Amino acid sequence: MSEEADIKGWIFDLQRFSLEDGPGIRTTVFFKGCPLRCEWCHNPESQSPHPELLFSPDRCVFCRACVAVCRGAAHRFDAEGAHTLDRRQCQVCGRCAAICPARALQIAGREWTVREVIAEAERDEFYYRHSGGGVTLSGGEPLSQPAFALALLSACRDREWHTAIETCGEAPWTTLNRFVPLVSLFLYDFKESDPERHRRFTGVDNRRILANLERLNDAGAVISLRCPIIPGRNDRPDHFAAIAALAERLPAIRDVRLLPFHPLAASKLARLGRPNPFEELSFPPQAAVSAWRAAIQAGTSKPVR
């Protein structure tokens, strides 16, 4: 393996036997850091490029080991023994997570080398070969760590593995263009068709995202358009029509995949000590999802899944 194998990047999870992030059985590598701040993000621990402390007080066994090792006096136990965490004092050093016997404290994010990621992926090479699977880079946003992502994709290609990348497309084209020769499938997020609504929901408008999608199409990439649909945010007829029109106009888009809202982020937000803006929202009924799919399918000949 070349010297690129020692390039390091920040990852918050590596998931084996993934079935939702491209064809076949896959290994999905979740990158830390993202330029967007989607209200509905189901991986809120991915947004910051830095390590973060996850705290699950219901798992605490009240051993108080964290108090002994904490450099900032962030861990406290009241007279009844209840464990609280003062995040203003927390230095995210990881000492408490390393010593916690019940995993009530965990660090999201650590540095990996390309060599380490490939070693994990090689354990599942048999499944890639027999299922048409491979490795998917997800996040967060892999384009936010381009040197690491490119080196990892190059190592996968050296092994003739299928490669996929899930991206929001919010990056300079000079960066994204370097990925085209190394990526078998782009899982391209299309979150909102209206630029100002996109800014309101994610923190940035969608102009560069759409321009990069056009450029990927012209570069001959293979694209699956992935569309999160959030009740009360973007479940609108005009947005569905825009999704269909985009899919129909760009030959590189092979299909449209709906990602209906799910409340997975609720527990993660609680463990990060953040408020949940969708506390009252749950899984949309299947009838609604079917109606969304039908509305998009009416405007395009591409499969809507």
Can you tell me the mean pLDDT for 135-156?
97
Is 90 exceeded by the pLDDT of residue 44? yes
- Assigned domain for 304 exists: no
Same domain for 181 and 128? yes
Is 70 exceeded by the pLDDT of residue 1? no
Same domain for 104 and 20? no
The per-residue pLDDT of the chain, averaged, comes to 96
pLDDT digits (tens, 9 = 90+) for 208-227: 999 999 999 999 999 999 99
pLDDT for the residue 4: 85
Q: How confident is the model at residue 142 (pLDDT cuts 50, 70, 90)?
A: very high
Q: Quote the number of domains for the chain.
A: 2
Same domain for 175 and 28? yes
Same domain for 186 and 56? no
In the listed set 65, 81, 108, which residue is the last one of a domain according to the structure? 108
Is 70 exceeded by the pLDDT of residue 14? yes
- Indicate which CATH number applies to the domain containing 98: 3.30.70.20
pLDDT for the residue 236: 97
Same domain for 113 and 91? no
pLDDT digits (tens, 9 = 90+) for 178-195: 999 999 999 999 999 999
CB half-sphere exposure, 222, CA atoms < 13 A: 11
pLDDT for the residue 5: 87
**Domain range holding 98?**
52-108
Same domain for 63 and 168? no
Same domain for 225 and 88? no
Q: How confident is the model at residue 3 (pLDDT cuts 50, 70, 90)?
A: confident
Same domain for 20 and 84? no
Same domain for 219 and 293? yes
Can you tell me the mean pLDDT for 45-67?
96
In the listed set 108, 129, 151, which residue is the last one of a domain according to the structure? 108
- Assigned domain for 257 exists: yes
Is 90 exceeded by the pLDDT of residue 264? no
Q: How confident is the model at residue 270 (pLDDT cuts 50, 70, 90)?
A: very high
- Assigned domain for 265 exists: yes
The predicted model scores a pTM of 0.94
Same domain for 183 and 79? no
- Indicate which CATH number applies to the domain containing 198: 3.20.20.70
pLDDT digits (tens, 9 = 90+) for 105-125: 999 999 999 999 999 999 999
